[in-house]
Amino acid sequence: MGKSKNRPPRLESKAGPQEVAPPPTLEQVLERSHVAGRATSPGPSEVRRLVERTAADRAQPVMLDDAWAAVTAAFGGSPDMPRIDPALTVASARTAVRRLVEVAESGAHIALATSKPASLLPIYFALARLARISGGDVADADEDSGPLRVDGRAARTLRWVEGVAVVTDGQSLCETRGPEAAAEWLFLVPRPALVVADGPYADAALDAGVEVIALAGLDHCSLAIGAERGRRCSIVPLFTDRPPGAYRPLLETALVAAIAPPLANGSGDGNGAGSGSNGAR
């Protein structure tokens, strides 16, 4: 008797169809992998100071309300709750890749550079290949340029890897924060019709009056205010410090959008990813 009382209850199969959870949307995938979503760094006070400092630029000041409106339109969130809206990430990536193809099809010069090679280099490789097969003239070089002093360190050089400019110490590819490498890069390449870049490379191209597709996190939300000042800048908002594989779903969806026309009813890119938000910013 004691043994029968300790037995687990008999499992009975439930009649009728079983509900299957739908697959996550692309926006949910990006938020779970922290490519987009709520910011942990920079925090609200840091973002607020950055926006205020950029808006007050003496050369081209912008009303603070207009500066915040530009940042919110590009990234989502609010001054009190910095975040990157994943729907904006998806829509902006699709639009940016279509623009890259449009410029490349004219045979124009296109330059690519990244200050975050550990995270973003695979994205740039894919975009450089897309630009080339679409007819673009992608800036490249067989030899390193330098030596340069970058971020306070000597013996750095610029190296082009599959058409993407990066900084190297000769052994490793290095993150870049200061303007030195970007200035050298822009001096060396033929003047591009379009730049695809992040960090100081995007800043240098905008200052030179070149159209830019910029991959940017909230630490570089000042780029949105640059667009408010009339600079030609299309921002793809995302956190730029994630492992390369975290960006793959976004990249694949954006590439599909570039080679396949959107559906007539605007319901997405036809590959089942995402929630169908494909409007341009």
Domain with residue 218: its CATH number is: 3.40.50
User: For position 155, what pLDDT does the model report?
Assistant: 87
User: What is the structure's pLDDT at 277?
Assistant: 37
Q: Is residue 7 part of a domain?
A: no
**Is there a domain that residue 10 lies in?**
no
| 90 is a domain residue | yes
Confirm whether 281 is domain-assigned. no
On whether residue 230 sits in a domain, the answer given is: yes
Residue 126 within a domain: yes
Does 276 fall in a domain?
Answer: no
* Any domain includes 2: no
Q: Are strands 83-84 and 173-174 parallel, antiparallel or unpaired?
A: unpaired
Q: Is the peptide bond before 192 cis (omega within 30 degrees of 0)?
A: no
Is the previous residue joined to 42 through a cis bond, with omega within 30 degrees of 0?
yes
Per-10-residue mean pLDDT, the chain, length 281? 59 64 94 93 90 86 91 91 95 96 97 98 97 96 88 90 95 94 95 97 95 96 79 94 97 86 44 38 35
Per-residue exposure over 158-178, b if at least 16 CB sit within 10 Å of its own CB, e if not: bbbbebbbbbbeeeebbbbeb
pLDDT of residue 57: 84
Domain that holds residue 84: 25-258
Neighbours of 59 (CB within 10 A): 5
The reported pLDDT for the residue numbered 16 is: 58
How many domains does the chain contain in total?
1
